[in-house]
Structure 1
Amino acid sequence: MERKLSQNKNFVTLITAQAISSLGDWLSIVAIITLVGLKWEATPMQMSLIILSLAMPMALLGPLSGAIADRMERKTLMIVSDVARGILILLLTLASSVWMVYIILFATGIFSSVFVPAKNGKLKELVKDENIKGAMSLTSMIDSSTKVMGPLISGILVSSFGMYNVFYIDSATFFLSAILILLLPATAKESSNNRQEGKQDSSLKTDLQEGITFIRQSSYLLYGLFLLGISLLILQLSDSQIIILLRELTNVSPDLFGYAVTSSGSGMLITGVFLSRKTEYNAYMYMCFGVLGIGTGFGVMAVLTYFNLSLSIIWVPFLALIVGISAGLVFIPFQAAVQEKTPVHMTGRVFGVINSTTTTATIIGPLAGGALATVIGIIPSFVVTSSLLIFLFFISVLFRNKVEQEDEHVTESQPGTQGAASRQIN
């Protein structure tokens, strides 16, 4: 019988390193904003470029980073990525202009784009197929919790120790993550040979095309990626404008936006905990109902805002919680399905394409949200986007049988690759 995830020491070490590294990704955000926005009095456009500097490398280099993660030892890539980011964060203490900050953050984003597919590939090596869904639920919980807790902790640290000391602390988290990854086993020879077999003469361009082709050949993964991309696009579109929507309410609490953000993050954590306890579920239907939940949550929020319903301190966080739970139902099952259906030697390429798609959605979403709200108004924009998601839910359910019928050879993992690294030391 397969060991439980909690008994898999290598997996525990990996997700601990991921948690520390992911926290490091977000820990310096408030310090950077404080430095650029308050000390240097940056313009609104300069502030927008801060987040864009971090996101662009993932969007542009995701597939390339994934191909590199499949060609090289993943453990080494993760360590190099963490050490490099630790050094780059230290360089922020020496930055004297906003352009230096942009360059440092862009370089940090490049190494983050390498870490993610390498981590997903390493997870595939360490965890058996029957435990993949639980493992992906746990890693998604870590990602969502660090996104919520990172800026909060950063704000506390900036207030307590000053922004430059936060950079030192943030840098230390990456070095600590690298030390933990050192404890992981290298890729077993059988898995390494599998990765390299028939690849001696292949080019990096060929590897990039293989990742895209693998997804295109699987109707399940292709449509799942479409649902994920659209859901994330509308999430970002609406999230970026929710503060504008809340301004339409009378007597609105100044803390309401913070409550909504916290509730949304908590919703994703709830979904992660729920799915981590389940080993068998229909990932596609969970994604469909997640799309429905996101659309319904934002739609009801727009309608209640239009009628200026009282007690917004209750119903806004509640609806944000529903949206967060629903978002988790889209993201987590899809990532688990990708891990199940992708051979270990292709995980980097496949997740590189996925990360590029999702990051592009996070970049386009806020820009599209601002444009749409400007053209048709904030409440109509929420109604339109929620209606599109609800319509997408019904279309997805109608095409369920067609999507789920696919050739087994496309998604079947190659034998002997799962848990290869963990078998090496057992």
Structure 2
Amino acid sequence: MRSLAKNKGYMTLMGAQAISSIGDWLSIVAIITLVGLKWNASPIQVSAVILCLAVPMALLGPVAGIVADRFSRKTIMIISDVVRAGLILVLTIASSLWMVYATLFTIGIFSAVFIPAKNGKLKEVVGENDMKGAMSITSMIDSTTKILGPLISGVLVAAFGSQQVFIIDSATFVVSAVLLLFLPNAVNIEHTEESEQTQESFKQEFAMGLSFIKSSRFMIVGLLMMGVSLLILQSADTQLIVLIRELTNPSPDLFGYLVTGSGAGMFLAGVMLAKKTDYRAYPLMLMGVCGIGLSFGIMGALTYYDLSYSIIWAPALGFTAGFSASLIFVPFQATVQVDTPVNMTGRVFGVINSVMTTATIIGPLLGGWMATVLGVIPTFIITAGMLVLVSLIGYFTRRKVDRGNSHGSTHERRTSAATTG
């Protein structure tokens, strides 16, 4: 922790992340509130909001990862921030759902390039011994902004209107870009024979990243678990605003409070994982999947009975869901960061992000369809049961995954280090 605090490159990267993340939550809550409550959008239309951000990441994830490995990650991030700052301003004049969708889709394209570049840059500036702590702190920043963003957004929207929120979000991207200017240039890049083969096709580089992932049983099973869990999770998660409408006289701010509770849970989990970095990732991931399932199942049941004091129990269940989510994402991503050579980080995370965002594409569509056909409460009950089932399957197959960990990625990482050292 102390070594990370003295790492200027890491602190600069985290500062930029914190500022832009607050802006992201300002606009996301404003958009969901606008579309879900003020425009009274259907379940499918609400799902499409998330879908527009997810589709570009799924389609461009592998290509974006290769770009992040080939070119300056610092430059890629700065360009992405500046362009997104301009695109966010378009939302200030949005008068229809289709205008919102088109803008979000374009923003998603540049976000797809930014994410693997940021993960690669993190690997450049942080040593292996500090990586688990760094990923936990990154999660804490995300969850903190998830708490502050909705609260600030609610105040700003009530006081000035959604247009002002989008302008502020645009400004956060500009500030983030300025901070990124102070990042060090590429360091600790491993110059292998592969990096010198400039004529290598994108297809070949994608295959190399995929091959590296396949060399680790933990990465394969972990990615499969995350993909399936995200698919089920997004089926229900994108319908939260619709579930809230099932309550009698729901508070207009209830969605924001629920998201804030989720952020608080993620923050607490991040603190715990940052203090204790010698954890085993796979058991924590299983606990997280089960915890999200139970949280969503109880939330659906309490909504069915229209239980009073939703202003208390909804954020509380959001808290447990957020805590559980961190138990999935932080250990998995930290382990992948540790096991992946710096010169392959973009490709590996490009493939991972592509798989994960494909799940987030199918999930909202599935959730919108289920909520329309079956009803939103049955949707939450069914998805909760499926998440618990996934965790049970993972539990009974855990020994096979543990046996595979002694080979795979760890062996590959050491081999790479030996050939490049």
C-alpha separation between the residues in 2 aligned to 1:417 and 1:129? 18
CA 3–87 in structure 1, closer or farther in 2 if over 3 Å, else same: same
Deviations 1:90-135 (A, max 9, x none): 4555778765554443222211111111111111111111111111
1:318 shift after superposition: 2.7
> Counterpart of 1:370?
368
Equivalent in 235, 238, 242 of residue 237 of structure 1: 235
> Which residue identity lines up with residue 12 of structure 2 in the other structure?
T
1:264–1:322 contact (8 Å) kept in structure 2: yes
Cα distance change, pair 416–181 in 1 and its aligned pair in 2 (3 A): farther
Range moving further from structure 2, 390-399 or 311-320: 311-320
Code of the residue aligned with 2:105 in structure 1: it is F
Instruction: Say whether 1:337 aligns with 2:339.
Output: no
How do 1:321-400 residues align onto structure 2 when only pairs under 5 Å count?
Answer: 321-400=319-398
Task: Tell me the equivalent position of 2:78.
Answer: 79
TM-score (norm 2): 0.86
- 2:383 corresponds to 1:401: no
For 2:99 and 2:83, how far apart are their aligned partners in 1? 16
1:31-180 matched pairs, under 5 angstroms? 49-92=48-91, 101-180=100-179
User: Counterpart amino acid of 1:415?
Assistant: A
Distance 1:90 1:146 in 2: 21
| Greater mean deviation of Cα atoms: 153-162 or 221-230 | 153-162
1:275 corresponds in structure 2 to 273
2:208 to 187, 210, 214: 210
CA deviations on 1:334-375 (whole Å, 9 max, x unpaired) are 111111111111111111122222222223223212323444
Per-residue CA distance 1:290-330 (angstroms, 9 max, x = gap)? 11211222233344555665655544433332222111111
Q: Is the 8 A contact 2:146 2:259 kept in 1?
A: no
For the residue of structure 1 that corresponds to 2:191, the secondary structure is helix
Report the AA paired with residue 278 of structure 2: E
CA-CA distance at 1:333 after TM superposition = 0.8
Q: Deviations over 1:130-160 (max 9, x none)?
A: 1111111111222233344334433433444
Structure 2 unaligned blocks of 5 or more: none
Inter-partner Cα distance in structure 1 for 2:97 and 2:387: 39
One-letter amino acid matched to 1:274: M
The CA distance in 2 between the partners of 1:398 and 1:155, in whole Å, is 44
Residues 46 and 238 of structure 2 are in contact (CA less than 8 Å); yes or no, is this contact kept in structure 1? no
The answer to whether the Cα contact below 8 Å between 1:34 and 1:163 also exists between their aligned partners in 2 is no
- 1:291–1:389: 8 Å Cα contact kept in structure 2? yes
Q: 1:173 to 1:416 in 2, by over 3 A?
A: farther
SS in structure 2 at match of 1:28: helix
Q: How does 1:246-285 map to 2 (within 5 A)?
A: 256-285=254-283
The 8 Å contact of residues 20 and 169 in structure 2, kept in 1 or not, is answered as no
Aligned-partner SS, 2:198 = coil
Q: Which residue of 2 aligns with 1:424?
A: none
Q: Distance in 2 between matches of 1:160 and 1:217?
A: 54
Shift of 1:72: 0.8
Gaps of 5+ in 1: 421-426
Identity of aligned residues (%): 57
Quick one: which amino acid aligns to residue 403 of structure 1?
A: V
1:220-241 Cα shifts (integer Å, max 9, x gaps):
0111112212222222222233
The 10-residue stretch of structure 1 (384-393 or 249-258) with the greater mean CA deviation from structure 2 = 249-258
Inter-partner Cα distance in structure 2 for 1:181 and 1:313:
39
Q: CA deviation at 1:379?
A: 4.2
Task: Report if the CA contact (8 A) 1:343-1:412 is conserved.
Answer: no
Q: Distance in 1 between matches of 2:37 and 2:251?
A: 25
Over 3 Å counting, the alpha-carbon distance change for 1:46 and 1:10 in structure 2 is same
Q: Aligned in 2, Cα 1:296/1:67: closer, same or farther, shift over 3 Å? A: same
Q: CA 1:80–1:67 in 2, change beyond 3 Å: closer, same or farther? A: same
| 1:410 and 2:409 are equivalent in the alignment | no
Deviation per CA, 1:230-283: give whole Å up to 9, x if none. 222222222233455556666766655443332222111111121111221001
Q: Structure 1's 386 and 160: CA in aligned 2 closer, same or farther, altered over 3 A?
A: closer
Q: Partner amino acid for 1:364?
A: I
Alpha-carbon distance in 2 for matches of 1:72, 1:103: 28
8 A Cα contact 1:191 1:417, kept in partner = no
327-336 or 390-399: bigger deviation = 390-399
| 8 Å Cα contact 1:233/1:361 also seen in 2 | yes
Deviates further, 55-64 or 88-97:
88-97
- 8 Å contact from structure 2 (residues 339, 413) kept in 1: yes
Offset of residue 80 of structure 1: 1.3
CA contact (8 A) 2:58 2:353 kept: yes
Are residues 185 and 89 of structure 1, via their aligned partners in 2, closer, same or farther at CA, if it must alter by over 3 Å?
Answer: same
Separation of aligned partners in 2, 1:364 and 1:123: 29
Q: Which amino acid aligns with 1:410?
A: E
Query: Do the aligned residues in 2 keep the contact of 1:131 with 1:279 (CA within 8 Å)?
Result: no
Residue 411 of structure 1, CA deviation: 4.4
CA gap of 1:416–1:28, structure 2 versus 1, over 3 A, is farther
CA RMSD of aligned residues (A): 3.4
Instruction: Report the Cα offset of residue 217 of structure 1.
Output: 2.4
For residues 353 and 304 of structure 1, the distance between their equivalents in structure 2, rounded to whole angstroms, comes to 38
